[in-house]
Amino acid sequence: MLNLLRMDYSMFALVLVLLACIEQSWATCVVDSFTVKQDFDPKRYAGKWYALQKKDPEGLFLQDNISAEYAIGDDGAMVAASKGRVTLFGFWVVCADMAAQYSMNYQGLASYLSSGGDNYWIIDTDYDNYAITYACRTLKDDGSCDDGYSLIFSRNPRGLPPPIQRIVRQKQEEICMAGQFEPVLQSGAC
């Protein structure tokens, strides 16, 4: 009888694993299907954000102490000034300052990076605690992203409370990047 129960449990576990694989294969990673922050309010989003987690794109990218300051210009464009450390030539660690200007699309997609060509979205934010950004540099023929990146921002460089961490993990799954993020050191170096 005990062997029969073990076999039933093993079969049940196998079925659960197969169902999880099937569900994952049905999940769509088509970038156009990703949900973005509805009714995005750039004025509430403006201000200082600290990166807590990141998924890097291919090539050179900020490594740590990443922060971004967003502001709204008189013309309605969102301007971002970003800072962070980067290693050049494999040994030279410097703080880099970057700037970008965004044209806002108020009909759903949060923002489009007009210089550089990256499509850049605010996936979710509560404006006061966290923001999840996503960018796709190149699309595959099937509509999924070939070279994408994402940053998890917080208004507080020390982290996010557990309830918000759960929201962030869910959104990471929805943009097909679960398990691909690494923590971002915030030591105040920049």
Ramachandran angles phi, psi of 90, nearest 5° = 80, -5
Three-state helix/strand/coil letters over 108-164: CCCEEECCCCCEEEEEEECCCCEEEEEEEEEECCCCEEEEEEEEEEECCCCCCCHHH
Which parts of the chain fold into alpha helices (H)? 2-26, 42-45, 162-174
Q: Which residues contact 48 (CB under 8 A, 6 or more apart)?
A: 67, 68, 69, 155
Provide mean pLDDT across the span 124-145.
Answer: 95
Question: Which pLDDT value is given to residue 6?
Answer: 52
**pLDDT (mean) for 111-133:** 76
pLDDT at 131 over 70: yes
Percent of the chain at pLDDT > 70 equals 76
CATH 2.40.128.20 at 31-183, yes or no: yes
Tokens of 47: 């201000």
